[in-house]
Amino acid sequence: MKRLLSILSLVCVAIMFVGVSSVKAATPSDRAVKVIVMPDHLDWNYKCGEKPVFKVLVLKHHSPMQNVEIRYELSEDNMPAHKVETMVLKNGEGVIKLGTMKVPGFLRCKVYVEDGVNTHRGLATAGFDVEKIEPTAVMPADFDAFWQGALAESAKIPLEPVLTLMPEQCTHHYNVYNVKFRNGAKDYIYGVMTVPNKPGKFPAVLKVPGANVRTYTVAKDMVALGDVVTLKVGIHGIPIDMEGDVYSNLKHGALKNYNRINIQDRDKYYYKRVYIGCARAVDVLAGLEFVDADRIAVCGGSQGGALSFTTAYLNPKVKCLYAFYPALADLGAYLHGRSAGWPHLFRTNSDDNLRNENVLNTIKYYDIVNFARKTRVPVKVALGYNDTTCCPTSMFSVYNSVPTSKEIYVLNEIGHYIYEEMFQDRNKWLLEHIK
């Protein structure tokens, strides 16, 4: 009976990982073979010096696989594995002793199973004194002066917003507009806006984008906010509703690795116009007759989580921010023997050309840790311990640096994706702060 209860509890965890009804399409899909890994603390948290024991269960068609060989790797967050071993699970279940950490951080266990056709993976990550994780990022003395200078230069360029009604996308509840505004002498930001289909002045939420080059449409998860104006913007200075292979060609061509373009120069780095453009989007919202300029929030995930912090710092009209798994965090951490966030500068030898003083100087002004240190508004961050894109070490470096009112929503098992209930939590929190 004890073994049966253990298996049932692990199966429940498996359902959390793959349940289709409660998650977005970006979450892992269901498969016949499931590899479930779970720490022995329910909250996955430990004190430095404690030694977690990871339970492992391998299922096929919901039944434990017999005499199955697994390969497991142990690592400190996204760093190279320091232990790789195999073992045979007689009844499809076993335990792995992880060791411990003497300093705050994360230990990750990845388990692999081969079935002759595919490789199946499960993972879990134990956190050690996570509230004590400190960033490696250094705050430059002229951080404020640099960004205030950039804002002053930007202010010389009129916004000149243009809203174009898209009748075919409008509903009984809201109207839809394509939006563009100036972000430089010959540079525009493009976006899509929803406006409640009734008279009045409404709170507004700016949704800043995750990484990639793509088209943008109405964010259905944002429309669920109700009587709120929403604006979702792109960052690359190109229209968001083009057809064909335009975005794919840009992604693999001119905008490939855009996060490294001009990184040798803090004044020309790609993200300078991006950070400024997102801040200007708030001014666009604040200037609309149907927006209450005293009730504007910003949100986003991954790169958008990072841009939420930069926008809240650069534009004091922002009243609060909600960030899913913020990227661009603790950018130089790999040089200190620790995991950094996306885009993982300095992680591999292919980035050897980045290891110079010019780049190290530039990233100080763009690291989200430094924007978090300057935050003036309420903050909520949602993240998962199993995120290997924006690793938890880097995200806690951000969260722990926030000096204002803050909350954190941890779903330990998730990676770089979002459950439906996370959108619901975001919307509830945003409405509480802007209504």
Beta bridge partners of 48: none
pTM over 0.85: yes
For 260-319, what is each residue's pLDDT tens digit? 999 999 999 999 999 999 999 999 999 999 999 999 999 999 999 999 999 999 999 999
For residue 31, what pLDDT is reported?
A: 80
Q: Are residues 77 and 225 in the same domain?
A: no
Cis before 316? omega within 30: no
Confidence at 21, pLDDT banded by 50, 70, 90: very low
313: tokens are 């710092």
Within-domain flag for 28? yes
Q: Are residues 48 and 194 in the same domain?
A: no
Confidence at 15, pLDDT banded by 50, 70, 90: very low
CA torsion through residues 144, 364, 296, 238, sign: positive
231 phi/psi in degrees, rounded to 5: -130, 120
Boundary-marking domain end, from 75, 97, 132: 132
**Spatial separation of the C-alpha atoms in residues 252 and 250, rounded to whole Å:** 5
Q: Are residues 399 and 286 in the same domain?
A: yes
Q: Are residues 124 and 154 in the same domain?
A: no
Q: Lowest-confidence range among 4-8, 109-113, 285-289? A: 4-8
| pLDDT (mean) for 92-112 | 96
For 233-247, what is each residue's pLDDT tens digit? 999 999 999 887 899
Within-domain flag for 54? yes
Q: Are residues 282 and 345 in the same domain?
A: yes
For residue 7, what pLDDT is reported?
A: 42
241 phi/psi in degrees, rounded to 5: -125, 30
Q: Are residues 121 and 158 in the same domain?
A: no
**Spatial separation of the C-alpha atoms in residues 45 and 401, rounded to whole Å:** 20
The answer to whether 302 is a known catalytic residue is yes
319 phi/psi in degrees, rounded to 5: -100, -20
- Single out the catalytic residue among 308, 339, 387, 401: 387
Q: Are residues 429 and 339 in the same domain?
A: yes
Within-domain flag for 138? no
For residue 76, what pLDDT is reported?
A: 97
Q: Are residues 118 and 232 in the same domain?
A: no
For residue 220, what pLDDT is reported?
A: 86
pLDDT at 5 over 70: no
The answer to whether 387 is a known catalytic residue is yes
Within-domain flag for 2? no
Nearest to 16 by CA among 33, 47, 38, 49: 38
pLDDT at 376 over 90: yes
> What's the chain's Rg over C-alpha atoms?
23
Within-domain flag for 14? no
Within-domain flag for 8? no
Q: Are residues 96 and 156 in the same domain?
A: no
Residue range(s) defining the domain that contains residue 106: 19-132
Boundary-marking domain end, from 72, 101, 132: 132
Please, are residues 363 and 263 in contact by the beta-carbon 8 Å criterion? Answer: yes
Confidence at 348, pLDDT banded by 50, 70, 90: confident
- Single out the catalytic residue among 75, 302, 308, 394: 302
Percent of the chain with pLDDT over 70: 93
Residue 217, Cβ neighbours under 10 Å: how many? 13
For residue 301, what pLDDT is reported?
A: 97
| pLDDT (mean) for 112-138 | 95
Number of domains, the chain: 2
Residues present in the chain in total: 435
Buried b (16+ CB within 10 A) or exposed e, 21-43: eebeeebeeeeebbbbbbbeeee
For 302-344, what is each residue's pLDDT tens digit? 999 999 999 999 999 999 999 999 999 999 999 999 999 999 9
pLDDT at 4 over 70: no
Confidence at 349, pLDDT banded by 50, 70, 90: confident
Boundary-marking domain end, from 132, 155, 183: 132
Please, are residues 431 and 378 in contact by the beta-carbon 8 Å criterion? Answer: no
Q: Lowest-confidence range among 113-127, 266-280, 283-297, 345-359? A: 345-359
